[in-house]
Amino acid sequence: MLARALQSVCAQTRLPNEVLVIDDGSTDNTAARIRTDFPDVELIRQENRGVSAARNAGIRRAKGTWIALLDSDDAWLPEKLERQLEALERAPDTVLCHTDEIWIRRGRRVNPMKKHRKYGGAIFERCLPLCVISPSSALVHRRLFELVGLFDESLPACEDYDFWLRATARFPVLYVEQALTMKYGGHADQLSHRFWGMDRFRIAALEKLLEDAALEDAKRRAVQATLARKIAIYAAGARKRGRESEARRYEERLAR
């Protein structure tokens, strides 16, 4: 999958100024293959610390003003970067741009559900139910990381949900409606398959967001309403699975 991702980067009609691969403690021959097949790529190796730590390592090392993210199991269509940069020339105050995408599940193209529809502009409230920006589609101005922080390394999953909430709470988003990102899913090592009850990480992100004193009142109320719904759903799911004490702990949060 990594070779497919890198081949899509090398095939861009507007090539990036640098390409960094973060090897987050792999135990296969990733490093050797990168050095052989992609000698111009800068390889950064670290002990396994998770997706947020890997992205943050790349962001810190990158020299460019604009940073594009690409997960190893995804790919870009050839005009992805060129189309985004053209759109950004017409919107010079933008700090975050994303594209539409094509979904592939177990080798077959599938249609995303309505809840996954992409938008531009002031999309904060659309980001509250679930993550609606794919990291692999994003082009991020370095200033955004400086203003809202990097990916939260304490979250083993839903770290993108957490980051996009912090970003869209403060800034509008530029959306390129053309499908320029390929998202591949259905494989066993996806984070969404690894963890039960993904909403517990979204709950943590929402609780953290409420600690931001600068959050506008209307957005704060929307966060509180979403948090209450997610806690109720998660507690019911925990009880259904026999996790009674966990269900009660989450229900106690609703009473606060």
Residues near 33 by beta carbon (within 8 Å), at least 6 away in sequence: 2, 3
Is there a single domain that holds both residue 126 and residue 91?
Answer: yes
Residue showing tokens 């998770």 = 50
Is there a single domain that holds both residue 138 and residue 240?
Answer: no
Is there a single domain that holds both residue 31 and residue 53?
Answer: yes
As for how many domains the chain has, the answer is: 2
Is there a single domain that holds both residue 42 and residue 89?
Answer: yes
Is there a single domain that holds both residue 130 and residue 150?
Answer: yes
Two tokens, residue 203? 């709950």
Question: How far apart are the C-alpha atoms of 79 and 90, rounded to whole Å?
Answer: 17
Question: What burial class does residue 233 get, using C-beta atoms within 10 Å of its C-beta: 0-12 exposed, 13-18 middle, 19+ buried?
Answer: middle
Whole-angstrom Cα Rg for the chain: 19
Task: Tell which residue, 57, 61, 37, has the closest CA to residue 47.
Answer: 57
Q: Is pLDDT above 60 for 167?
A: yes
Is there a single domain that holds both residue 238 and residue 159?
Answer: no
The pLDDT tens digits for 34-91 are: 989 999 999 999 999 999 999 999 999 999 999 999 999 999 999 999 999 999 999 9
| Residue 82 identity (one-letter amino acid) | E
Is there a single domain that holds both residue 18 and residue 92?
Answer: yes
Report the SS3 class of residue 161.
Answer: helix
Percent pLDDT > 70 in the chain is: 95
Domain that holds residue 224: 199-254
Is there a single domain that holds both residue 98 and residue 190?
Answer: yes
Q: Is pLDDT above 60 for 188?
A: no
Is there a single domain that holds both residue 95 and residue 216?
Answer: no
* 4-40 burial: b if 16+ Cβ within 10 Å, else e: ebbebbeebeeebeebbbbbbeeeeebeeebeeebee
Q: Among positive and negative, which fits the CA dihedral 10, 12, 14, 16?
A: negative
Report the SS3 class of residue 116.
Answer: helix
Is there a single domain that holds both residue 141 and residue 183?
Answer: yes
pTM of the entire structure?
Answer: 0.93
CATH of the domain at 181: 3.90.550.10
Domain end point (choices 175, 194, 213): 194
Is there a single domain that holds both residue 225 and residue 189?
Answer: no
Question: How far apart are the C-alpha atoms of 33 and 86, rounded to whole Å?
Answer: 33
Q: Is 102 in contact with 182 (CB distance < 8 Å)? A: yes
The conformation of residue 111, written as its DSSP 8-state character, comes to P
Least confidently predicted of 120-129, 171-180, 191-200: 191-200
Domain end point (choices 179, 194, 209): 194
Is there a single domain that holds both residue 72 and residue 136?
Answer: yes
Confidence band of 197 (pLDDT split at 50, 70, 90): confident
Q: Is 209 in contact with 158 (CB distance < 8 Å)? A: no
Report the SS3 class of residue 226.
Answer: helix
Q: Is 164 in contact with 131 (CB distance < 8 Å)? A: yes
Least confidently predicted of 88-102, 177-191, 230-244: 177-191
The residue that leads in pLDDT, 175 or 254, is 175
The pLDDT tens digits for 100-134 are: 999 999 889 999 899 999 999 999 999 999 999 99
